Amino acid sequence: MLDIRRATRHDARDAYAIRRQAILHQCPGDYGEDLARAWAEVPHSEGFTTLVADHFHLACLNGSTVATGMIDLASGELGALFVLPGHMQRGVARAMVTHLERIAWAAGLEQIHLDATLNAAAFYRRCGYEGDTQAVYHSPAGLQLLCVPMRKALIAV
């Protein structure tokens, strides 16, 4: 059974490992091997650990963490949706999005936004997000990645 829970500082290493594996598995086709590897290999930092503790949720299956996702209630941003390659295409990502949207709705947000990677934009559209125009995301590590800014109006969930 899939269980989704808040992350803690102690979960940062697992979250980083899931992020790395998901990027290396899903992103080279849209971003090229070199850029995907540079993105995946951004060093784990204290800033990442703090982000995990402040905003991340983890999807666990039989006690093992298989996915991450975050919602920043102050900015209304959903992100960091990464699923271990062996658990992709099994509804884990959609369950995480639904979970994070419920949290946002309960906190009084009427809309949330995200910057979808090129490989994930179609998934987010299936989840009800709107946006088609590409933009450039400037990562804290100095990388520039094409993305698709998207928004979704929340309804009672």
Q: Say which amino acid occupies 149.
A: P
User: What pLDDT, on a 0 to 100 scale, did the predictor assign at position 44?
Assistant: 92
Task: Give mean pLDDT, residues 139-146.
Answer: 89
Q: How confident is the model over 93-104, as a mean pLDDT?
A: 97
What is the CA angle 100-42-48, rounded to 5?
Answer: 45
Strands in 56-61's sheet, in edge-to-edge order, are 2-6, 56-61, 64-72, 77-83, 111-117, 144-153, 135-138
Write down the pTM of the prediction: 0.94
Kindly state the average pLDDT of the residues 70-89: 97
Tokens coding 2: 């899939």
- What are the sequence ranges of the domains in the chain? 2-110
Say what the pLDDT of residue 156 is.
67
Q: For residue 139, what pLDDT is reported?
A: 86
Specify the CATH number of the domain 2-110.
3.40.630.30
Q: What is the pLDDT of residue 157?
A: 56
